[in-house]
């Protein structure tokens, strides 16, 4: 589903169905630009760039290259954690964790035309993010995941439904999402799914993205 972000002055529409989180530390030895291209060619509708192993300059250089590549395909780029990188490379916005820069401060820096997403694990965190003006929330981890060390409890589908009941802004579900469980996640109230290994670790990243998109489409028919 394509939704316009009403509370922000953005000039584009966001298709939330499939966000590929391109993690600098989880590319399975592949070139990250090539991996992102394959994911988008397969149907990924949003890219989040995570560069925890890069220097600031490396992160910025990759951000600029990827943003230029995605502009041609009309796919937004979101930068993970780094407000400065998001601003400098001209990304569509930034995704922040609970321990990152507070949302109001990020908004002052980025202005009203950029997207800001917040990671949440509880309905209370989701409500707080909504009240502060988040454009969307990344809810998770929904299921067990090997992408990073998880300290928060798993939401499960019930937890995701509870968050959906509390906020009206878009929800990207994250954590252990696969082509097999993506339909159930969408049925539980998510607007889209965010994945890392489901695409990055796939033998055919383009095909993996296409299969996830098609599985979500079946729910929305």
**N residues, the chain:** 221
Evaluate the omega torsion of the peptide bond into residue 141 and state whether it is cis, within 30 degrees of 0.
yes
Q: Which residues are catalytic?
A: 50, 119, 148
As a whole number of angstroms, the distance between CA 148 and CA 161 comes to 24
> With b meaning 16 or more CB within 10 Å and e meaning fewer, what string describes 132-150?
ebbbbbbbbbbbebebeee
Q: What DSSP line would sit under 92-146, residue for residue?
A: SEEEE-TTSS-HHHHHHHH-TTSEEEEEESSHHHHHHHHHHT-SEEEE---S--S
Contact 14, 48 (CB under 8 A): no
Measure the CA angle with vertex 123, ends 100 and 76; round to 5°: 55
Distance CA 103, CA 125 (A): 12
């Amino acid at each position: 589903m394509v939704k316009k972000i009403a509370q922000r002055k953005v000039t584009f529409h966001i298709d939330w169905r499939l966000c590929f989180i391109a993690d600098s530390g989880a590319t399975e030895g592949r070139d990250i630009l090539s991996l992102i291209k394959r994911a988008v060619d397969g149907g990924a509708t949003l890219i989040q760039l995570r560069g925890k192993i890069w220097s600031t300059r490396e992160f910025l250089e990759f951000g600029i290259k990827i943003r230029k590549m995605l502009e041609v395909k009309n796919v937004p780029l979101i930068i993970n954690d780094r407000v400065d990188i998001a601003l400098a490379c001209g990304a569509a916005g930034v995704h922040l964790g609970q321990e990152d820069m507070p949302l109001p401060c990020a908004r002052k820096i980025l202005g009203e035309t950029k997207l800001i997403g917040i990671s949440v694990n509880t309905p209370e965190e989701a409500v707080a993010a909504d009240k502060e003006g988040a454009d969307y929330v990344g809810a998770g981890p929904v299921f067990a995941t090997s992408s990073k060390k998880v300290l928060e409890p798993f939401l499960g589908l019930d937890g995701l439904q509870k968050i959906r009941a509390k906020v009206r802004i878009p929800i990207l579900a994250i954590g252990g999402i696969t082509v097999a469980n993506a339909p159930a996640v969408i049925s539980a109230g998510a607007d889209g799914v965010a994945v890392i290994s489901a695409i990055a670790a796939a033998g055919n990243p383009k095909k993996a993205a296409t299969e996830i998109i098609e599985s979500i489409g079946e729910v929305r028919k």
